[in-house]
């Protein structure tokens, strides 16, 4: 009985809009007339036949995959240390990891802008040190967007992994060591497989967040750097093309879902 | 198999000394038990041998190898944890094969050695099960098989039986002991169960507050405890506080003059094993004989525990075999108790 309210909420709050969106995506768009009821796949055809849109999708996936992989590689050691530390300051360390989330995405992106700009802190210090003599073009590049998204997503990855690693008995690692496994073998044969549920949850979470990122690509990528999130928003808010916006949303959602499922299947086949 | 020697081992945590100048020599194939009250440093000592804790000072040698600064994976110590620590994502066979795999044993040889290890712990046929599909006792035996399969130089057991119920504990105890003998494994086991320690060990190490108090066989520890702590810790003792007034004479707090084999010294404690005490007619021939008042009698089946008072300050615990039908002392009775001159062991008084 207790699950009823949550179920109703999910149904109304999540499935409702998606259903409406899907319905809209089948409508026609006639400039000046806003939206005409219909049942057509022309919005989807438009997306998949235009190299521009396909390019945006490909770029979004690429950025999301890179961000997720980097988050995993950077997040795992951090999560491990957090999970295993016996320091009195453990809670403080966790707060430090979460701290960036206290600042909204937009504010943070603005911070990155000041850091990455051609006269920003990074270039100024590198040039000051004589490492480079031309400012690096980081702002409004894919690199800037990737760095920005990683900074947003890393805490989610770390917290997810940390809670799973904490559930792995330290003795199991020690048993592996005593049986002759060095740190690399222990990691590969024991820690990684046992942390797999957390790795899956963390990568899915960060991947979805990265696929749908909005503020970071807009602010750090600039107007010419299009990803799916801003594209959807543009169609709704600027072009007023709700049917096409709906179609793009649906494509984004489906792509995210399919890639997540595919990755899961591959991983699960490899690890039992 | 190899001998193991621990020399002047110390571990200090900040201000606190967990293990203090601990030296133990373990012969090849010997079963040594570390025994002591909770927090005395048994686990710390064992984990230093296994390589999980870096000693503050001291040296550990396995066979001819100085392993003090080697990481755990290069020490070849088989370790069995209290919590078993099986790999939950691997089958029993994979668990047991893990150590062999890490040692690059050819897959063909692995299978035979896994089968042999599982046969030793009587788990043949459980190969394909996962740890969660096993009972506690079976998991324990898998942990043992896993440690044995890699043919360790020394076997380290940290309270391996404490998660088992009483009946199983007796069974596994015998199994471990038999295996250890059969394979001639140099073994250190930690426990705080005295009976377990006494039945399994070749020699025991009694530790207290990080220090080794005594190393010896069961008989040595029981009959010649090195100090008052050991006398109280291994088996039971009755203690009388007093002083060695002159050689051969202990004067108790209540003023009794007790004959014993010890030189004169200052304040001292006399320890008496309950079964060395005689009562009634049997006490007649004893060098020390005192009238005593029975305070309390506990019925323990085969034995009767009897609390007696010699003087206001001197109380003693007696243990009598329960001869059914014979007259039993009752509280309030006056009886005579006695003991031989060599029954009393004298130790300097400890605070
Ligand atoms: N990391 C640590 N930091 C500080 N003190 C510690 C640490 N590890 C252990 N100690 C202390 O060292 C002492 C010895 O601990 P140890 O675990 O060796 O005891 P033990 O003899 O195994 O006791 P038990 O029978 O309860 O298992 C304890 O008093 C413990 O509080
Ligand atoms: Mg312990």
The whole-angstrom separation of Cα B90 and Cα B62 is 30
> Which DSSP letter does residue B302 get?
S
Q: Quickly tell me which residue has 């220090």 as its tokens.
A: B211
The whole-angstrom separation of Cα B318 and Cα B279 is 9
**Residue B271 phi, psi (nearest 5):** -110, 135
Residue A133 lies in a domain: yes
pLDDT of residue A215: 86
Residue A242 lies in a domain: yes
The whole-angstrom separation of Cα A68 and Cα A64 is 6
Residue A76 lies in a domain: yes
| Residues in Cβ contact with B243 at an 8 Å cutoff, skipping those fewer than 6 apart | B250, B251, B265, B266, B267, B268, B349
The pLDDT tens digits for B128-176 are 999 999 998 899 999 999 999 999 999 999 998 888 888 888 888 888 9
Whether the per-residue pLDDT at B235 is higher than 70: the answer is: yes
Cβ pairs bridging A and B (under 8 Å)? 67
Half-sphere exposure (CA, 13 Å, Cβ side) for A10? 5
Tell me the pLDDT of chain B averaged across its residues. Answer: 90
Residue A2 lies in a domain: no
Q: Give the pairing of strands B186-191 and B57-62.
A: unpaired
pLDDT of residue B158: 92
Q: Is the pTM for the entire model greater than 0.90?
A: no
Residues with CB under 6 A from ligand 1: B 13, 16, 18, 36, 38-44, 192
- Chain A: give the shortest CA distance to residue B18, in Å: 18
Mean per-residue pLDDT, B248-264:
88
Task: Report CA-CA distances (Å) from B126 to A52, A271, B116, B289.
Answer: 59, 22, 13, 63
Whether the per-residue pLDDT at B1 is higher than 70: the answer is: no
Mean per-residue pLDDT, B117-122:
91
- Alpha-carbon Rg for chain A, nearest whole angstrom, is 22
Residue B160 near chain A (CB below 8 Å): no
Q: Which residues in chain B have their CB less than 8 angstroms from residue A189's CB?
A: 98
**Residue A39 phi, psi (nearest 5):** -145, 85
Q: Among residues of chain B, what percentage have pLDDT more than 70?
A: 99
3-state secondary structure of B323: coil
Domains identified in chain A, total number? 1
Q: ipTM for the complex?
A: 0.85
Tell how far the Cα of B18 is from the centroid of ligand 2, in angstroms: 12
> What would the two tokens of residue B264 be?
């004169």
3-state secondary structure of B152: coil
- Helices and strands in chain B, H and E counts: 8, 20
SS3 letters across chain A: CCHHHHHHHHHHHHHHHHHHHHHHHCCECCCCCCCECCCCCHHHHHHHHCHHHHHHHHHHHHHHHHHHHHHHHHHHHHHHHHHHCCCCCHHHHHHHHHHHHHCCHHHHHHHHHHHHCCCCHHHHHHHHCCCCCCCCCCCCCHHHHHHHHHHHHHHHHHHHHHHHHHCCCHHHHHHHHHCCCCHHHHHHHHHHHHHHHHHHHHHHHHHHHHHCCCHHHHHHHCCCCCCHHHHHHHHHHHCCCHHHHHHHHHHHHHHHHHHHHHHHHHHHHHCC
- For atom 16 of ligand 1, the residue with the nearest CA is B41
Residue A246 lies in a domain: yes
**Following CA atoms B193, B194, B195, B200 in sequence, which dihedral angle do they give, to the nearest 10 degrees?**
90
Residue B10 and residue B21 in contact, taking contact as beta carbons nearer than 8 Å? yes
Distance, CA of B221 to chain centre? 10
The whole-angstrom separation of Cα B186 and Cα B32 is 8
Q: Quickly tell me which residue has 């250890």 as its tokens.
A: B180
Residue A226 lies in a domain: yes
pLDDT of residue A166: 94
Residue A35 lies in a domain: no
Q: Please count the other Cβ atoms lying within 10 Å of the Cβ belonging to residue B39.
A: 12
Find the closest chain B residue to A196 by CA distance: B89
Of residues B274, B242, B280, the one with CA closest to residue B259: B242
Q: Which of A174, A271, A272 sits opposite B85 (nearest CB)?
A: A174
3-state secondary structure of B251: strand
- Domain extent at residue A264: 40-270
Q: Quickly tell me which residue has 């601990």 as its tokens.
A: B22
Residue B70 sits at the vertex; the CA angle it makes with B69 and B73, to the nearest 5 degrees, is 155
Residue A255 lies in a domain: yes
Give the nearest ligand 1 atom to B34 CA.
Answer: 21
Low-confidence ranges of chain A (pLDDT < 70): 271-272
Whether the per-residue pLDDT at B287 is higher than 70: the answer is: yes
Mean per-residue pLDDT, B60-83:
93
The pLDDT tens digits for B9-21 are 999 999 999 999 9
The pLDDT tens digits for B212-225 are 999 999 999 999 99
Q: Which residues in chain A have their CB less than 8 angstroms from residue B105's CB?
A: none
CATH of the domain at A164: 1.10.3720.10
**Helix, strand, coil percent content, chain B, rounded in steps of 5:** 30, 35, 35
Residue A224 and residue A140 in contact, taking contact as beta carbons nearer than 8 Å? yes
pLDDT of residue A102: 82
């Amino acid at each position: 009985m207790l699950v009823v309210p949550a179920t109703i909420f999910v149904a109304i709050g999540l499935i409702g809009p998606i259903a409406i969106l899907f319905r809209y995506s089948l409508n026609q768009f006639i400039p000046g007339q806003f939206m005409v009821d219909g049942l057509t796949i022309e919005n989807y055809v438009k997306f998949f036949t235009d190299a521009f849109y396909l390019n945006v999708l490909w770029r979004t996936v690429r950025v999301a995959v890179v961000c997720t992989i980097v988050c995993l590689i950077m997040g795992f050691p951090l999560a491990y240390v957090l999970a295993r530390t016996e320091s009195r300051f453990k809670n403080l360390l966790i707060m430090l990891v979460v701290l960036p989330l206290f600042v909204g995405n937009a504010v943070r992106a603005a911070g990155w802008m000041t850091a990455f700009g051609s006269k920003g802190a990074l270039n100024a210090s590198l040039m000051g040190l004589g490492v480079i003599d031309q400012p690096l073009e980081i702002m409004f590049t894919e690199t800037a967007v990737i760095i920005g998204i990683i900074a947003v997503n890393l805490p989610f990855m770390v917290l997810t992994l940390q809670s799973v690693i904490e559930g792995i008995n330290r003795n199991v690692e020690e048993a592996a060591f005593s049986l002759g496994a060095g740190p690399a073998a222990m990691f590969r044969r024991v820690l990684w497989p046992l942390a797999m549920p957390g790795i899956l949850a963390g990568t899915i979470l960060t991947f979805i967040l990265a696929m749908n990122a909005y503020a970071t690509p807009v602010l750090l990528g600039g107007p010419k750097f299009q990803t799916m999130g801003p594209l959807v928003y543009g169609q709704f808010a600027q072009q007023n093309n709700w049917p096409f916006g709906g179609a793009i949303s649906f494509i984004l959602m489906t792509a995210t879902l399919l890639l997540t499922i595919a990755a899961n299947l591959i991983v699960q086949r490899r690890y039992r | 198999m190899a001998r193991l020697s621990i020399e002047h081992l110390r571990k200090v945590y900040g201000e606190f000394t967990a293990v203090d100048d601990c030296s133990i020599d373990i012969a090849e194939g010997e079963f040594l038990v570390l025994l002591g009250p909770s927090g005395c440093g048994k686990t710390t000592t064992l984990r230093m041998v296994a390589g999980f804790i870096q000693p503050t000072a001291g040296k550990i040698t396995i066979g001819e190898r100085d392993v003090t600064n080697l990481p755990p994976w290069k020490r070849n110590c088989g370790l069995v944890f209290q919590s078993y620590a099986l790999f939950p994502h691997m089958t029993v066979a994979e668990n047991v094969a893990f150590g062999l795999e890490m040692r690059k044993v050819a897959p063909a040889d692995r299978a035979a050695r896994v089968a042999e290890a599982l046969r030793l712990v009587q788990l043949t046929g459980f190969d394909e099960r996962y740890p969660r599909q096993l009972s506690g006792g079976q998991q324990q035996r898998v942990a043992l098989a896993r440690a044995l399969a890699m043919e360790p130089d020394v076997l380290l057991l940290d309270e391996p039986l404490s998660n088992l119920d009483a009946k199983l504990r007796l069974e596994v105890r015998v199994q471990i002991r038999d295996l250890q003998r059969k394979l001639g494994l140099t073994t250190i086991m930690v426990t705080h169960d005295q009976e377990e320690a006494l039945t399994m060990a070749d020699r025991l190490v009694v530790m207290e507050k990080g220090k080794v108090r005594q190393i010896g066989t069961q008989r040595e520890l029981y009959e010649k405890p090195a100090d008052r702590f050991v006398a109280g810790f291994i088996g039971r003792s009755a203690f009388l506080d007093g002083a060695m007034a002159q050689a051969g004479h202990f004067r108790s707090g209540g003023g009794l003059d007790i004959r014993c084999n010890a030189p004169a010294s200052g304040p001292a404690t006399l320890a008496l094993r309950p079964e060395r005490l005689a009562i009634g007619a049997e006490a007649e021939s004893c060098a020390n004989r005192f009238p005593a008042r029975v305070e309390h009698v506990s019925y323990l089946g085969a034995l009767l525990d009897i609390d007696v008072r010699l003087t206001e300050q001197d109380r003693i615990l007696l243990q009598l075999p329960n001869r059914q039908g014979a007259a039993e002392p009752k509280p309030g009775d006056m009886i005579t108790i006695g003991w031989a001159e060599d029954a009393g062991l004298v130790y300097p008084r400890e605070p």
